[in-house]
């Protein structure tokens, strides 16, 4: 992986996708106009920041990602496994659809989702020149939004899961993600025998490994293990660069993951 800077905007690129004919990036919190506690490249209006700040931050990120004119498509993220297929950017006056994954095969569209501990998942189908992005917190992980994204790309584009490239981006690590009985029960129900790989117990505390959980989901959906890259950057450990809802006690912004076709 490597960091790319454009002015003060700084984003992370994954090795697995770096040489592919796509734009992609996980944007750090640097280089925006938002004041504290959202400082500074906050991408969400839902956390109290102004719409004007967020629009300027998104414009800066988009310019950093690609010099070519592109439109953004985003959704109202609701911790589901719903996938939206789009062929057009979302206009500013158009209502958001509720979903937690987006797919497209239109090079004019850049897909954007927002994060602050939940798992960003980027997908690229080189055979059919299509991309996807998913948002997987514990609820989306239990609902297997990553699997639904793969299945939706298969249905929409003819994607072969074994051809897909997948990147699991910066998100909370198990060392900082202790969970209670509700989450533990839901994970055991969803993962069965594999739950022992994703629920880690130490000194009476149970933690959830969202990275491993989504690796399992992707491989069970047919993605090859060596086609999956996990960035392994913990948002809760690195709040200087990333927003973390848990580490910052909810008083923080949202960073963006973005992907689009060249």
Place of tokens 């969400």: 44
The reported pLDDT for the residue numbered 97 is: 97
How many percent of the chain have pLDDT more than 70?
100
**CATH no. for 2-173+225-261:** 3.60.140.10
CB 113 within 8 A of CB 104: no
- Tell me how far CA of residue 125 lies from CA of 62, 75, 131, 158, 161, in angstroms: 22, 21, 6, 10, 8
The reported pLDDT for the residue numbered 111 is: 98
Go through the chain and tell me how many residues it has: 262
CB 249 within 8 A of CB 52: no
How many percent of the chain have pLDDT more than 90?
98
The reported pLDDT for the residue numbered 211 is: 98
**d(Cα 231, Cα 171) in Å, to the nearest integer?**
9
The reported pLDDT for the residue numbered 107 is: 96
The reported pLDDT for the residue numbered 69 is: 82
User: Residues of 138-170 as b/e, b for ≥16 C-beta within 10 angstroms?
Assistant: bbbbbbbbbbbbbbbbbebbebebeebbbbbbb
For residue range 176-209, what is the model confidence (pLDDT) as tens digits? 999 999 999 999 999 999 999 999 999 999 999 9
Q: Please state the pTM of the whole predicted model.
A: 0.97
For residue range 212-247, what is the model confidence (pLDDT) as tens digits? 999 999 999 999 999 999 999 999 999 999 999 999
For residue range 136-151, what is the model confidence (pLDDT) as tens digits? 999 999 999 999 999 9
CB 214 within 8 A of CB 171: no
Confidence category of residue 67, pLDDT binned at 50, 70, 90: confident
Ramachandran category for residue 23: left, alpha or beta (phi over 0 → left; psi -120 to 50 → alpha): beta
Domain positions in the chain are 2-173+225-261
Confidence category of residue 68, pLDDT binned at 50, 70, 90: confident
CB 123 within 8 A of CB 134: yes
Which stretches of the chain are assigned E, i.e. beta strand?
2-6, 9-13, 22-27, 71-73, 83-85, 101-104, 109-115, 119-125, 130-136, 165-168, 199-202, 205-208, 228-230, 255-261
The reported pLDDT for the residue numbered 93 is: 85
Mean pLDDT over 91-105 rounds to 95
* Other residues' Cβ atoms within 10 Å of the Cβ of residue 251: 11
Place of tokens 């848990």: 246
């Amino acid at each position: 992986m490597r960091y790319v800077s454009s002015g003060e905007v700084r984003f992370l690129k994954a090795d697995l996708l770096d040489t592919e004919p796509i734009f992609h990036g996980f944007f750090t919190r640097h280089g925006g106009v938002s004041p504290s506690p959202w400082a500074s490249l906050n991408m969400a209006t839902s956390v109290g920041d102004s719409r004007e700040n967020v629009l300027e931050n998104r414009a800066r990120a988009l310019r950093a990602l690609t010099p070519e004119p592109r439109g953004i498509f985003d959704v109202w993220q609701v911790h589901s496994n719903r996938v939206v297929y789009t062929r057009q950017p979302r206009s500013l006056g158009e209502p958001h659809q509720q979903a937690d994954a987006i797919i497209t095969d239109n090079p004019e569209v850049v897909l954007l989702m927002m994060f602050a501990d939940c798992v960003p998942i980027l997908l690229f189908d080189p055979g059919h020149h299509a991309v996807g992005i998913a948002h997987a917190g514990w609820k989306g992980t239990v609902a297997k939004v990553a699997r639904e994204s793969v299945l939706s790309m298969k249905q929409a584009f003819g994607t072969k899961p074994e051809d897909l490239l997948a990147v699991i981006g910066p998100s909370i690590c198990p060392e900082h993600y202790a969970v209670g009985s509700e989450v533990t029960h839901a994970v055991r129900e969803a993962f069965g025998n594999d739950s022992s790989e994703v629920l880690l117990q130490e000194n009476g505390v149970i933690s959830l490994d969202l990275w491993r959980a989504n690796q399992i989901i992707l491989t069970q959906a047919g993605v090859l293990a060596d086609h999956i890259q996990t960035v392994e950057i913990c948002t809760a450990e690195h709040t200087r660069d990333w927003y973390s809802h848990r580490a910052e006690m909810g008083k923080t912004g949202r960073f963006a993951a973005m992907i689009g076709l060249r």
